[in-house]
Chain A
Amino acid sequence: MMRKLAELTMLDGISGNEQEIRKFIIQNLADKSLKHYTDSIGNLIVKGKTDGSSNLKVMLAAHMDEVGLMVNYITDDGKLKFSPVGGIDSRILIGKHVRVGKCKIPGVIGYKSIHLQDKNERESVVKIKNLYIDIAAKDKENAEEFVNTGDYVAFASEPVFFGENRIKAKALDDRAGCAVLMELLEEVWPFELYACFTVQEEVGLRGALVAANRIKPDIGIVLEGTTCADVPKVKEHEVSTVMGEGPVLSFADRTSIADRELFYHFLKTAEKEGIPYQLKRTTTGGNDAGRIQTSGTGVKTMVVSVPCRYIHSPVSVLDLNDLKNMLNLVSKALHILPELGR
C-alpha cells in the first residue's frame, strides 16, 4: 500500500483533470476482472467482489483530485498568471516548483525578492493576483508554444519517506484514501461494494453527488485525508487531530453529521479489535459525505480519515501506521456491519 500511495502522489490530478489517477487505479486493480465504469464527470466506480450474502449497497468514496492552480492569462513578457483550483493559502506559494499542463513544463512561482519589497509589502500577505509562474519563456509568443490558458498546474513535490514511519508528499489529501480503497478492493465482501474514486471534491464535492445518484447506496463511507495541526503553539482543542494516534472518526463537520449507529459501530469495532482511533476535535471542513448523505432519498454516512499535516500544500505529511490502522479499521468494521444482521 505504501508504494502505491507514493506512486499515486507522483501523479497530477487537479480537480477536473483526474485522468492520470484514474488510469493508474484501473491499471493497478488487484483483480483485473473487477467491473469498472467511468461516468461523464470522471468518477471511477469499481464494483468489488462479493460473496452475495447480502444485497446491501455500500458506497466507499475517496477523491482522486488534489488542489492546484490553473493558468488564466499569459503576460506579454511570457509570465503565467493563475487562479487557485480548490482552497490554497496564497502564503505557501512563493518559490514553489510546479508542473504546467499536459507536457508538465517545469516552472517556478515568482515574486520580487525581499530586497525589493517596501515595508508594507514585507509585512502583508501577498495576493495571488500579484504572483506568477515563470517558465523562463522569452515572451508571450514563446510561452504559448508550451502553455495555453486553462492548463492545469500541479506542485512538483516527490514523495519522501522520513522520520519514523512518516511520508511527505503532495496530494496526500486524498491519495491516502485512494490507496486504502484500492487495498479494500482486494477483499471479498458480504455486500455489494461500490468503490468510488471521485472527482472534483476540492471544488465543491461535485463528483460524489452524481456517483451517489447513480449507485443509490444504503450506506456511504468516505475515506479522507483530514486536517492535523498538532504542531507547536496550537491549543489542544484546536489541533483537529493528532498524528500517530490512529484513524479519525468524525461525529460531524460542516457538511454532514455522521449516522449515529455507524459512528458507534466503527468506534466499538476499533475498541474491540484494539485498533487505535481518535475523534476529530473540530467540526471544520467538509467532504464528499455531505453530498452522499442528502442524495436521493437520503443515505447513512460516516467519514474515516487519516491525519495529514500541512494539508493542501506540497509538503503534506502523514504517519504510515495511521494509514495501516485506517485500512484495518475500515475493513474490520465493514465486514461486521450491523445492517448485515451479524
Chain B
Amino acid sequence: MISLIRELAGAYGPSGREEEIRNLIEQKISSKVDEIYTDTLGNLIAVKKGSENGKRIMLAAHMDEIGLVASYIDDKGFIRVSNIGGINPYVAIGQRVQFQNGITGCVCYEENITDFKDLKLDRMYIDIGANSREITSECVMPGDIAVFCGETIEQNTRFISKALDDRIGCAILIKLIEQMGDCPNEVIFVFTVQEEVGLRGAGPAAFDIKPDIAVAVDVTGTGDTPECKPLAIELGKGPTVMIKDSRTISHPIVKNALIECAEKNNIPYQLEVMSVGGNDAGTIHTAAGGIPAGAVSIPCRYLHRPCEMVDKNDALNAVKLLDAFIKMP
C-alpha cells in the first residue's frame, strides 16, 4: 500500500487544480471499471456495474489538497499569498512549498511582527529565491497555487505525509476497486474536487448521479496526542463510522448499515461525533432533494500539516468495511 499512497500523496492537486492527481487516479483504475468520466467541475466518476438489480451506492473521496495561492508578486520578487482551504499561518511558517511546475519556495513572515497573535497570511509570503518581479514572473503568476512539501514515509505501521487528507481516502477507494470483484449493487466511485474550499465538488456530482445512498471517505481528527482536546478517536483503533460532524448528521440507514457490516465481519471501528469540521457528505445529503449519506473516516493526526499521520491498519480495515458495505443486499 505504501507505494500507492506515496504516489497519490505526492501528486500535485490543490483545490481547483486537480488535473494531475485526477490523471494519476484515472490511469490506475480505468481498466478496472465499467465506465469512467470527468464532469464539469473536474470530479472523476468511475462506475462499477452491479451484478444484480441492486442499489446504486456512491462512494466519495476528495482528490484536492490545501494550498497557498500566489496573489501578488512584489517588485523584489516575493510572492504574497492567500489560503486555499484551511491553512493555519502558524503551521505554514518555515514550510517548503511547491508550485505545479516544480518551483519550490519557503514560507516566511514579515520580520516586524512582534506579537504572533497578529500573524495572518497577509503578513506572510513565499520566497523562491528570485530577486525581482521579472524573475519570479517567469515561473509563477498570480493564481498559481503552491502545496506543502512533505514526503511519504511508513514507520511503525503509520504513514506520515502531506495530503493524506484525503489521498488516503482515494487510496482506499482504489484498493476497493481492485479487490471488490462481483457486487450486487452498482457502485459509483467519485473522486471529488474542491472539498477543502467548501465541499463544492461533491454536491454537483451527487446531483448528477442521484444515488440511493452515499458514503464519504475522508479523514478525521483524533484525541490521542498529548494534552489534546478530548475526542474518543484514536489512531489504530479502526476506521470511524460518522454519527455527526458540523455539517451532517448521518442518515440512520447508512450509519446502521456500516455499523452492522463492521460488527458482522469483526472489523474494528470507532464512532465519530464531531462538533467541528465537515466532509463531502455535507453537500451530498442535501443534493437533488436529499440523498441518505454518511461517512467513513480514517483517524488522522496533525490535519492540514505537512506531517499528517494515519495508521495503515485503519486504512486496510476501511477497505474491508466498505467492501462489506457495498455488497449488502
Please give the residue numbers on chain A whose beta carbons come within 8 Å of chain B beta carbons, in ascending order: 218, 236-238, 251-252, 255-258, 260, 263, 279-283, 293-300
Q: Which residues of A contact B83 (CB under 8 A)?
A: 283
Q: In the complex, what distance in Å separates the CA atom of A283 from the CA atom of B16?
A: 14
Stretch in B167-175, B201-209, B221-229 touching the partner: B201-209
B143 within 8 A of A: yes
Q: Are B71 and A297 in contact (CB under 8 A)?
A: no
**Which A residues are in CB contact (< 8 Å) with B60?**
none
- Bound CA span A238–B200, Å: 27
For residue B82, which residues in chain A have a CB less than 8 angstroms away from its CB?
Answer: 252, 282-283
The answer to whether the Cβ of B40 comes within 8 Å of any Cβ in the partner chain is: yes
Q: In the complex, A79→B239 CA distance in Å?
A: 60
CB-based contact A252/B72 at 8 Å: no
Note all chain B residues with C-beta closer than 8 A to A282: 71, 82, 122
A260–B40 touching, CB < 8 Å: no
**Is B69 located at the chain interface by the 8 A CB criterion?**
yes
- The A-contacting residues of B in range 37-93, CB under 8 angstroms, are 39-41, 43, 69, 71-72, 74, 80, 82-84
Closest residue of chain B to A299 (Cβ to Cβ) is B40
Minimum distance in angstroms from A276 CB to a CB of chain B: 16
User: Would A298 and B143 be within 8 Å (CB), given that A237-B72, A251-B69 are in contact?
Assistant: no
Is residue B142 within 8 Å, beta carbon to beta carbon, of the partner chain? yes
Asked whether, in the complex, the Cβ of B143 is within 8 Å of the Cβ of A281, the reply is no
Q: How far is the CB of B68 from chain A (nearest CB, A)?
A: 11
Closest-CB distance, B225 to chain A (whole angstroms): 31
Nearest B residue to A251 via CB reads B143
Known contacts A283-B69, A294-B200; 6 additional CB pairs below 8 A are A218-B40, A236-B72, A257-B15, A257-B84, A283-B82, A298-B41
A279-B142, A283-B82, A294-B200 are contacts. A236–B17 as well, Cβ < 8 Å? no
Q: How far is the CB of A314 from chain B (nearest CB, A)?
A: 28
> For the complex, is B197 an interface residue (Cβ under 8 Å from A)?
yes
Q: Check B204–A260 contact: CB distance below 8 A.
A: no
Q: Across the interface, do A297 and B204 meet the contact criterion of CB distance under 8 Å? A: yes
Question: What distance in Å separates the Cβ of A64 from its nearest Cβ neighbour in chain B?
Answer: 26
Inter-chain contacts of A236 with B (CB < 8 A)? 72, 74
Could you tell me the distance between the alpha carbons of A218 and B39 in the complex, rounded to whole angstroms? 12
How distant is the Cα of A128 from the Cα of B203 in the complex, in angstroms?
Answer: 38
Q: Which residues of A have CB within 8 Å of B71?
A: 237, 280-283
> Which listed residue (A237, A294, A295, A297) contacts B74, Cβ 8 A?
A237
B180-217 vs A: 1/0 string, CB under 8 Å?
00000000000000100110110111011000000000
- A252 — which chain B residues lie within 8 A by C-beta? 16, 69, 82, 84, 143
Nearest CB of chain A from residue B141's CB, rounded to whole Å: 8
Contact (Cβ within 8 A) B16 A281: no
Instruction: List, in ascending order, chain B residues with CB within 8 A of A255's CB.
Output: 198
Q: Is the CB of A257 within 8 A of B204?
A: no
Given A237-B74, A282-B71: A260 in contact with B16 (beta carbons within 8 A): yes
Q: How far is the CA of A260 from the CA of B143 in the complex (A)?
A: 10
Task: Mark contacts of B137-150 with chain A using CB atoms, 8 A cut-off: 1 yes-contact digit, 0 otherwise.
Answer: 00001110000000
A–B complex contacts, Cβ < 8 Å, 13 sampled? A237-B72, A237-B74, A237-B122, A251-B69, A252-B16, A281-B142, A282-B71, A294-B204, A297-B39, A298-B39, A298-B201, A299-B40, A300-B41
Which chain A residues lie closer than 8 Å to B41 at the CB level?
293-294, 298, 300
Chain A residue contacts of B72, Cβ below 8 A: 236-237, 281
* Chain B residue with the shortest CB-CB distance to A297: B208
Question: Which residues of B are found within 8 Å of A297, using beta-carbon distances?
Answer: 39-40, 204-205, 207-208
Which chain A residue has the least Cβ–Cβ distance from B194?
A: A257
Beta-carbon nearest neighbor of B16 in chain A: A257
Q: Is there contact, CB below 8 Å, between A257 and B197?
A: yes
Residues of chain A within 8 A (CB-CB) of B204 are: 294-298
CB-based contact B200/A263 at 8 Å:
no
Given A294-B204, A297-B207, A298-B39, A238:B122 Cβ within 8 A? yes
In the assembled complex, the Cα of A252 lies from the Cα of B16 at a distance in Å of: 9
B141 surroundings in chain A (CB, below 8 A): 279
When chains A and B are docked, how far (Å) is the Cα of A280 from the Cα of B80?
12
Q: With A251-B142, A257-B15, A257-B16 as given contacts, are A237 and B80 in contact (CB-CB < 8 Å)?
A: yes
Chain A residues near B197 (CB-CB < 8 A)? 257
Q: How many Å lie between the Cα of A296 and that of B206 in the bound state?
A: 9
B43 closest partner in A (C-beta): A298
How many angstroms from the CA of A297 to the CA of B69 in the assembled complex? 26
Shortest Cβ gap from A237 to chain B (Å): 4
The 6 tightest CB contacts between A and B, nearest first, are A251-B143, A257-B16, A298-B204, A237-B80, A298-B41, A298-B40
A258 to B197, CA, bound (A): 13
In the complex, what distance in Å separates the CA atom of A258 from the CA atom of B208? 21
Which residues of B lie under 8 Å from residue A237 when comparing CB positions? 71-72, 74, 80, 122
Contacts of A299 in B (CB 8 A): 40
Rounded to whole angstroms, the CA-CA distance of A36 and B226 in the bound complex is 63
Question: How far is B143's CA from A332's CA once the two chains are assembled, in angstroms?
Answer: 22
- Is the CB–CB distance between A294 and B143 below 8 Å? no
Q: How far is the CA of A281 from the CA of B73 in the complex (A)?
A: 9
B295 smallest CB distance to A (angstroms): 19
A263 touches B142 (CB 8 A): no
Chain A residues with CB under 8 A of B194: 257
Distance between Cα atoms of A286 and B141 in the complex (Å): 22
Q: Smallest Cβ distance from A44 to chain B, in angstroms?
A: 25
State the CA gap A255–B15 with chains docked (Å): 12
**What is the 8 Å Cβ interface bit string for chain B, positions 1-38, against chain A (1 contact, 0 not)?**
00000000000000111000000000000000000000
The CA-CA distance from A289 to B15 in the complex, in Å, is 16
Q: Are B203 and A294 in contact (CB under 8 A)?
A: yes
Q: Shortest distance in angstroms between A239's beta carbon and chain B's nearest beta carbon?
A: 9
